[in-house]
Amino acid sequence: MSDESVQIGVAVPAAGLQSYAFQGLDYVHNTPVADRRTAWTVGRGVPLPRGKINDLAALRLVDAAGTAVPLQTRALAQWPDGSIMFAHLTFQCDVANDAPAEFDLRFDGAAPPGPENPVAVEQAEGCTSLDNGVARIEIGTSGDHPRLRLTAGNAAVFDGLLDLWTVDAYGMRFSGTVSEVRVVQSGPITAVVELHGKHCNAAGDVFLDYIVEVRLDAGRADMHLAHTFLNMGEEPDGVAVGEIGLRLSSAGGKVSHVVGQLSSGQSSFPRLCEVPEDVQIDFHQTVARIADVNSLREDTTGYAPYLMDNRDMVYQYLGLRGDGWSAVAVLHEACENHPKRLLATGGDMAFHMWPRDAKLPTLRQGMARRHEATIALLAPDVSALDMHKAFHQWEAPANVSLPFPWFQQCKVMGMEYIMEWLPLRYRHLEANMAATIERAWVPGMFGYGDDPNSGYAVHYATHGLGDHTVWLNNEHDFTAQAATQYWRSNRPKAWLSTRVSAQHQVDVDFVRRSDDPWKVGGIPAHSAGHTTASVYPSHTWTEGLLQYYLTSGDARALEVARSLGRNLCKYVEERIEPLRTESRMFGWALIALNAVAEITQDERCLRCAQTIRDDIAEVVERRGTFDSMGMSYGTGTVLSGLTGLHRITGDKAALELAVTILDWQMTNGRNAVGTTWGDQLEPYDLNLTLPVYAYLWYATGERRFLEEGIDFFRFTGMPVAAGINVRSASKHYRSCIGFLKAAHDVNVLEQMSEPPPVKF
């Protein structure tokens, strides 16, 4: 790594694929087979130093042999001088579980080569096509409803109505109509087209909006679909939904189906079954089940009764074999987002995002949900085993890694103050940090990516607000902590936590429409039904959404973060009194506005951040400090917001204000054991003062801040594993992560990591 290049790695899960040559066909228990991926498409946002790159054409990617590879780039964020802060790279590579791929991103301006089979988008009146010479997708929009034709080579796989449907609680059916077709990316590595429209019945009534994203990659015969339904209706309390789905129409001819049965025979081994019948697979919380187990033609003679209960359990995919083609249909993370259904009838392939009789709660106004699916096209004569392997590959994403010192060198989002991943040096600490972030997520379509909280539920019930499950709504910005952990460690499970929590925020928690103008464009605080509560500054977070956006390139997260910034600006400009009620209102609002201003250069957000700074200054001028009652966690958020404003803009007034507040506390706010923590003897685990001590030491060079921070760190103690829910996890992680580097730099962290001496 240097100023002229940065290393990029690509790896797939190390264990390889499970071996499924069953029933005596060379089956070896627990022996994996190699996971070999060819021309596998990957993408990752990469930070760039300020002032370094003004034109994406300056970026060149070379492999381990020094050969330039095809590269597709787009800018995600810019520095104040107009240079590129983050660029999203899309490329393809050959990678295996035992052979990671390595690349070097260089800044020498040499033009990259084009892919062998580039994908391109063409738009004509009533038709948009994606073509890479291997597969072709044609989307027709000239009629009342969209049509889709998918061909691979000379074989037509699907051809006919792209049936987007919803059903309301009374059984009325609505079909998707198209209002707009957007080309989101035009190749050459990846091309993406979005269809935007509404579900309408024959009378023209509307029931839910939709967005369908269609993607094709260079040289690959795989169609990727992303289906989003949105409630933009008039009903403030939401609507009851009966069914939502997407169906691809058969191109004709007979189609057989491949199903992976989980438990077959007296020994309960898996097996692969190819059946001519139509197939329905239902996805539940932990397992998928086939509706007609008899279609698997299993001889159950002599089976013990308990074996009969498991025969319908199947793997989470459906293989398809038609005239001149084979395919695997995957609805990604279907069990995690249960209930779901795959249904193949007469050659049609349907994805039921909201199955009939799902018994899901009301879809509240402004709420959405996005699901991703893949139709992976394979050779016509491919074996059922190869279909099974393809499914496992699509369910095991490749991980694109970057060295964390590069983030520190680029000085993006404060990473220069975060300690790099040091698991061999600090084994216990890093194990706790990883366990805190790498969540075991609550499953369910509207719960995946969030956690319920029994304490808030009791609070609701005590105040007569009903007996409801209350969700945390990413309290304390868990997404930001997960993203920071991923940036510093490159651990895939940290990315999983980042992705699912961010996507939950974007879809479920974000209020796109409301009769309450103060909820529009915001995310409610911990809430029953995710969006029933109010939106207010002390529970508005943008850092994690922006870090997710900068890593994934998912523009939906950027727009939600921008919207949250606008909501905060509305408070500052029109209704600042609620911010003055408690310190955390100012603190979290300032932290959130800082992040939007840093990544988008939004001048309105910066002005409002400066307004908050000035309001805090007025309080300090009158009182001598901001919170004379003690170092509450709210004061910690204020200090974090002020130092963040200084880091981003060089605002000296913000830095001086933070120093004044902390100086007062260090003089007047000590507890009974002499630690700067007011009159408290137990440190709240979201204190946010530790990162401020470190920042002020680095920013001012005054060692007293370091020494006071070390004293408080010893008082607080080493980080613990706190992964019970996102609230506790984010509190623990955020409290300490900003101080670890300072403690490491002066060897205090190593001293605290040593186990106590053993006494005999």
> Where are the domains positioned within the chain?
5-106, 120-250, 256-356+375-394, 438-575
Tokens of 3: 């100023």
Instruction: Please determine, for residue 158, whether its predicted confidence score (pLDDT) is greater than 80.
Output: yes
Q: Whole-model pTM?
A: 0.96
Instruction: Please determine, for residue 660, whether its predicted confidence score (pLDDT) is greater than 50.
Output: yes
Dihedral class, residue 727 (left if φ above 0, else alpha if ψ from -120 to 50, else beta): alpha
CB contact set of 388 (below 8 Å; sequence gap of 6+): 20, 258, 260, 272, 315, 317, 319
- Give the H/E segment covering residue 592: helix 583-600
Nearest to 219 by CA among 9, 10, 38, 400: 38
Mean pLDDT for the chain? Answer: 93
User: Predicted confidence band at 37 (pLDDT cuts at 50, 70, 90)?
Assistant: very high
Reduce the DSSP state of residue 3 to 3 states and report it. coil
Confidence (pLDDT) at 23: 40
Nearest to 390 by CA among 343, 324, 335, 328: 328
Do 139 and 126 meet the contact criterion of CB atoms below 8 Å apart? no
Q: Which residue has the higher pLDDT, 417 or 627?
A: 417
Confidence (pLDDT) at 633: 83
Nearest to 175 by CA among 226, 237, 243: 243
Q: How far, rounded to the nearest angstrom, does the alpha carbon of residue 497 sit from its chain's CA centroid?
A: 7
- End-to-end distance of the chain based on CA atoms, in angstroms? 49
Nearest to 77 by CA among 681, 682, 670, 648: 648
Q: With pLDDT > 70 as the criterion, what percentage of the chain qualifies?
A: 97
Q: Cα dihedral angle (444, 449, 453, 459), rounded to 10 degrees? A: -90
Long-range contacts of 619-622 (CB under 8 A, 24+ apart): 620/657, 620/660, 620/661
For residues 388-417, give the mean pLDDT.
96
Confidence (pLDDT) at 751: 85
Confidence (pLDDT) at 25: 43
For residues 64-69, give the mean pLDDT.
95
Distances (CA, A) of 591 to 267, 347, 645, 689, 699: 57, 53, 8, 14, 18
pLDDT 10s digits, 442-463? 999 999 999 999 888 887 877 7
For residues 207-225, give the mean pLDDT.
97
For residues 622-650, give the mean pLDDT.
90
Nearest to 338 by CA among 264, 283, 276, 406: 283
Instruction: Please determine, for residue 358, whether its predicted confidence score (pLDDT) is greater than 90.
Output: yes
Q: 709-736 in b/e burial notation, b at 16+ Cβ within 10 A?
A: bbbbbebbebbbebbebbbbbbbbbbbb
Nearest to 106 by CA among 5, 34, 228, 199: 5
User: Predicted confidence band at 1 (pLDDT cuts at 50, 70, 90)?
Assistant: low
In 3-state terms the chain splits into helix, strand, coil percentages (rounded to 5) of 30, 30, 40
Instruction: Please determine, for residue 24, whether its predicted confidence score (pLDDT) is greater than 50.
Output: no
Confidence (pLDDT) at 309: 87
Confidence (pLDDT) at 683: 85
User: Predicted confidence band at 734 (pLDDT cuts at 50, 70, 90)?
Assistant: very high
What residue type is 282 in one-letter code? D
CB atoms within 10 A of CB 321: 21
Confidence (pLDDT) at 143: 85
- Give the H/E segment covering residue 36: strand 36-47
CB atoms within 10 A of CB 247: 20
For residues 506-527, give the mean pLDDT.
95
Give the span between the Cα atoms of 319 and 261, in whole angstroms: 12
pLDDT 10s digits, 72-86? 999 999 999 999 999
Distances (CA, A) of 128 to 141, 188, 227, 415: 8, 16, 18, 42
Confidence (pLDDT) at 268: 82
Tokens of 456: 């808030």
Instruction: Please determine, for residue 18, whether its predicted confidence score (pLDDT) is greater than 80.
Output: no
Confidence (pLDDT) at 250: 97
Q: With pLDDT > 90 as the criterion, what percentage of the chain qualifies?
A: 84
For residues 549-556, give the mean pLDDT.
98
Reduce the DSSP state of residue 481 to 3 states and report it. helix
Q: Please provide the DSSP assignment of 687-753 as one string.
A: ---HHHHHHHHHHH--HHHHHHHHHHHHHH-S-----SSHHHHHHHHHHHHHHHHHHHHTTHHHHHH
Of 3-7, 146-150, 626-630, where does the model show the most confidence?
146-150
Judge if the upstream peptide bond of residue 339 is cis by omega within 30 degrees of 0. yes
Instruction: Please determine, for residue 563, whether its predicted confidence score (pLDDT) is greater than 70.
Output: yes
Tokens of 703: 């060692």
Instruction: Please determine, for residue 205, whether its predicted confidence score (pLDDT) is greater than 80.
Output: yes
Say how many residues make up the chain.
760
Distances (CA, A) of 534 to 107, 275, 525, 590: 47, 52, 6, 19
For residues 55-59, give the mean pLDDT.
95
Instruction: Please determine, for residue 573, whether its predicted confidence score (pLDDT) is greater than 80.
Output: yes
Confidence (pLDDT) at 756: 60
CB contact set of 380 (below 8 Å; sequence gap of 6+): 155, 321, 324, 325, 326
For residues 330-335, give the mean pLDDT.
97
Distances (CA, A) of 92 to 42, 105, 335: 6, 14, 29
Give the span between the Cα atoms of 188 and 752, in whole angstroms: 52
pLDDT 10s digits, 78-129? 999 999 999 999 999 999 999 999 999 999 888 889 999 999 999 999 999 9
Residue whose pair of structure tokens reads 């994805």 in the numeric block = 351
